[in-house]
Amino acid sequence: MPFELRPDMPEEGWQMSELEAGGHSDRVEQHLYRVAERDGFPMMVPGFLPKTHLALSLGEFARDRGESSHIAVHHAIFGAYFGKGLDIGSRDVLLQIAEEEGLAAEEVGKMWQEGAYDERLKQFRHVAIHMGLDSTPAALICDELHIGSRPYQVFRDSVDHCLDGAEEEPNVETGAGAAGEGHSPEGRPEL
């Protein structure tokens, strides 16, 4: 689900130099470049953070038009920012992406004007904050919460662990697997 980390960010976004942490560490940036090069993705780490509300709204607009539309728009937005260094907070950039992915610019503009996805994004943010998320990326796989960039194998192991747990006999009292591991006494997943 999308997570608007900084909803109060100014419309023009922030320059990395304006942030206390100053952006990614050199080590993280070098890792990102190596992974991108290995996977054949042209990558740059822009020196600014865009306000992502419009981009997240466009993603939700595309999601409601089907999985293939959502995936295409998501990839196009990601590629525009990390592949080309474009400002994905810009209406013009996002409208071009929408049109390239077969979405009507008029409908997208109307959706933004009406705030059609504002409440959904607010609810997603509420869920993320409730889970203790205060940074991105983050992934919840079954009862394992991963915050920050992780190697692919970490996610693969987590999915395998999740699938192994799904094969266990459920415990009727707690909703947990046979051993009840990873769940609170009330039956909620422990994060």
Instruction: Mark whether 31 and 115 lie in a shared domain.
Output: yes
Q: Are residues 117 and 153 in the same domain?
A: no
Report yes or no on 1 lying in a domain. no
| 30: Cβ contacts below 8 Å, ≥ 6 apart | none
Same domain, 84 and 154: no
* 96 shares its domain with 187: no
Domain's final residue, options 115, 130, 145: 130
- What is the identity of the amino acid at 155? F
Same domain, residue pair 89 and 108: yes
Q: What is the pLDDT along the chain (191 residues), one digit of tens a residue?
A: 888 988 999 999 988 777 665 555 778 778 878 888 898 888 887 888 999 999 999 999 999 999 999 999 999 999 999 999 999 999 999 999 999 999 999 999 999 999 999 999 999 999 999 988 888 888 889 988 898 878 889 999 999 999 997 776 554 444 444 333 443 344 434 44
Q: Are 182 and 189 in contact (CB under 8 A)?
A: yes
